[in-house]
C-alpha cells in the first residue's frame, strides 16, 4: 500500500483549493493528450433546448466516457445521433472543473462505418479523375429525340414507377424497356453490370437511344454498389448514352460522374429523356395553332369577298324588283303624308266654318235682331244722323220693311 503521508511541517505544506486541483488536472490532461479519435456507442443523449448543446456518453463493453458537443460544433453536422448509434468522435480530454468530472469535448462526429466508406469513395473518385474516366462521356451524346429507352433498376421499387409515370405523361410515344437488376446489397454491382450487358446485346439488333440507371434514395451503404470500381470502368466504355438518376438530389455516386448526364432523381432522369419530345410536341402545337389561325383568317377574308361579289352580281330582274319595291314604298309613304295633311286641312276648315257661322249676319237676324239701312245703302247706326222724311229699309230674318222718318 502506497504511503501518501507528507513529512513536511505545517508551514512548508502547499494546500490547494478544490478549484485549483480541478484546474491543475484539466491543464495536465490537455497538455498530455493531443486531440483523439474515439469510437463507441451513444448513450444518455440529451440536447438542451435553450443552448442547443449536446451532452451524452459513449461506451463499449468495459467503459463509459462522458462527452459534450457545443452548438456551434453540432449545428452543421447534418444528423443528430440517437441512443445506440455507433459513432467516431474527435475531441480533447479534460476536466469539467465545476463538477470535477472527467470528459471529452467533441469537435467532430461521424457515424461509424460512414467514414471508411467516404474514404474509399474519395480514393476511387481521385483515382478515376486522374485516369480521365470522368471525361470520356459527353452530355451531347444524349439524342434530342428518344424513341426507345432502357431502364435498369429494381423491378419492384418506387423508382421504376416514377420513371414510367413521368414518361407516359410527358412522352407516351417512347418505348420503355424495363431491365430488372439488384440495386442494393451483395452482388448488386454485378447484377447492374449484367443488365447493362443485356441492353447492349439488345441494342445490336434493335436501337436503344439511351439508358436510365436509377434507384431511390438511401444511405451510403445502400448506394455503394453504384461506386463499385468494376461497374464504373465498364460504364466508362459503354456504347449507349447513360443517364444516372441514383438516390436523392443530395446523393452522389461515382456512376453519376461517369454517366453522360447526372439526374438528381429517377423522375428527373425521365424528364431529361422526354425533354426533346416535349419540346417537339410544344413546337407542333405552336405550328398547329398558327396554321389554324391563319386558315381561319383566310376563310373570313374569302367569305367577305364572296358577300361583296354576290352583291355586285345580282341579276337585272332582281335589281328591277328591288327598284319597284322601293317605289311602292315611297308611294305608300307619300299617300300617308297626303292623307295626314288633308285631314289637318279639313279639320281647320271646319274650325273656321264654325267661327264664321257665329258672326254671320243671317244668324244674328235669326236670333230676333234686325238691320236698318239708309237710302244710300248704309247701315243706320246713329239716330241723330237721320232726318225727317228719310226713307229707311229694315231687314228682318225673313223679309224687308220700308219706313219713313217722321220725327228726328
**Domain-embedded: residue 143:** yes
Same domain, 26 and 71: yes
Categorize the per-residue pLDDT at 287 as very low, low, confident or very high, splitting at 50, 70 and 90: low
Give the DSSP letter of residue 247.
S
Q: What percent of the chain has pLDDT over 90?
A: 34
**Domain-embedded: residue 194:** yes
Convert the pLDDT of each residue in 24-55 to its tens digit.
888 888 888 889 999 999 999 999 888 999 99
Q: How far is CA 103 from CA 21, 30, 42, 58, 198, in A?
A: 16, 11, 14, 11, 58
Instruction: Assign 360 to helix, strand or coil.
Output: coil
CA atoms within 13 A on the CB side of 68: 14
CA distance 58 to 38: 9
As a dihedral over the C-alpha atoms of residue 62, residue 65, residue 71, residue 77, rounded to 10 degrees, the angle is -30
Convert the pLDDT of each residue in 344-360 to its tens digit.
887 887 777 777 666 66
Closest CA to 254 of 225, 212, 293, 290: 225
Closest CA to 188 of 157, 145, 163: 157
**Domain-embedded: residue 259:** yes
**0.75 cut: is pTM over it?**
no
Same domain, 163 and 219: yes
Same domain, 152 and 235: yes
Write out the residue range of the structural domain in which residue 23 sits: 18-112
CATH of the domain at 266: 3.40.50.261
* Arithmetic mean of pLDDT, 130-138: 86
Residue 19 reports pLDDT greater than 70: yes
Element (H, E) at 203: helix 188-205
Closest CA to 168 of 193, 151, 143: 151
Q: Are 157 and 218 in contact (CB under 8 A)?
A: no
CA distance 225 to 214: 12
Same domain, 140 and 261: yes
Cell, residue 313:
352580281
Q: Which residue, of 279, 299, 320, is where some domain finishes?
A: 279
Please count the structural domains in the chain. Answer: 3
Closest CA to 153 of 206, 218, 71: 218
* Arithmetic mean of pLDDT, 336-351: 81
Amino acid at each position: 500500500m502506497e504511503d501518501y503521508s507528507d513529512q513536511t511541517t505545517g508551514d512548508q505544506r502547499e494546500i490547494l483549493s478544490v478549484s485549483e486541483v480541478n484546474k491543475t488536472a484539466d491543464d495536465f490532461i490537455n497538455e498530455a493528450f493531443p486531440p483523439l479519435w474515439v469510437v463507441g456507442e451513444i448513450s444518455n443523449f440529451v440536447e438542451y433546448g435553450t443552448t442547443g448543446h449536446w451532452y451524452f456518453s459513449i461506451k463499449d463493453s468495459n467503459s463509459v466516457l462522458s462527452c459534450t458537443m457545443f452548438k456551434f460544433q453540432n449545428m452543421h453536422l447534418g444528423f443528430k445521433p440517437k441512443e445506440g448509434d455507433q459513432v467516431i468522435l474527435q475531441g480533447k480530454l479534460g476536466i469539467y472543473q465545476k463538477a470535477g468530472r472527467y470528459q471529452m469535448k467533441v469537435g467532430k462526429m461521424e457515424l461509424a462505418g460512414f467514414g471508411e466508406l467516404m474514404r474509399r469513395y474519395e480514393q476511387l473518385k481521385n483515382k478515376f479523375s486522374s485516369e480521365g474516366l470522368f471525361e470520356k462521356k459527353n452530355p451531347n451524346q444524349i439524342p434530342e429525340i428518344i424513341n426507345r429507352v432502357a431502364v435498369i433498376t429494381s423491378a419492384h421499387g418506387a423508382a421504376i414507377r416514377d420513371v414510367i409515370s413521368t414518361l407516359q405523361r410527358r412522352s407516351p410515344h417512347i418505348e420503355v424497356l424495363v431491365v430488372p437488376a439488384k440495386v442494393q446489397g451483395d452482388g448488386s454491382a454485378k447484377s447492374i453490370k449484367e443488365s447493362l450487358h443485356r441492353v447492349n446485346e439488345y441494342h445490336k439488333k434493335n436501337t436503344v437511344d439511351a439508358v436510365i440507371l436509377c434507384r431511390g434514395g438511401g444511405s451510403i451503404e445502400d448506394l455503394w454498389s453504384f461506386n463499385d470500381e468494376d461497374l464504373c470502368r465498364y460504364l466508362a466504355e459503354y456504347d449507349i448514352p447513360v443517364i444516372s438518376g441514383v438516390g436523392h438530389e443530395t446523393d452522389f455516386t461515382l456512376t453519376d460522374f461517369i454517366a453522360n448526364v447526372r439526374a438528381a432523381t429517377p423522375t428527373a432522369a425521365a424528364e431529361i429523356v422526354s425533354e426533346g419530345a416535349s419540346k417537339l410536341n410544344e413546337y407542333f402545337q405552336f405550328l398547329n395553332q398558327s396554321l389554324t389561325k391563319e386558315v381561319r383568317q383566310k376563310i373570313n377574308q374569302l367569305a367577305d369577298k364572296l358577300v361583296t361579289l354576290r352583291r355586285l352580281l345580282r341579276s337585272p330582274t332582281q335589281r328591277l324588283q328591288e327598284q319597284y319595291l322601293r317605289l311602292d314604298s315611297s308611294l305608300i309613304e307619300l299617300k300617308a303624308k297626303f292623307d295626314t295633311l288633308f285631314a289637318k286641312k279639313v279639320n281647320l276648315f271646319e274650325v273656321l266654318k264654325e267661327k264664321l257661322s257665329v258672326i254671320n249676319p243671317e244668324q244674328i237676324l235669326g236670333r230676333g235682331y234686325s238691320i236698318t239701312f239708309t237710302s244710300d245703302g248704309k247701315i243706320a247706326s246713329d239716330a241723330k244722323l237721320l232726318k225727317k222724311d228719310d226713307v229707311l229699309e229694315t231687314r228682318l230674318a225673313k223679309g224687308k220693311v220700308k219706313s219713313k222718318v217722321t220725327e228726328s
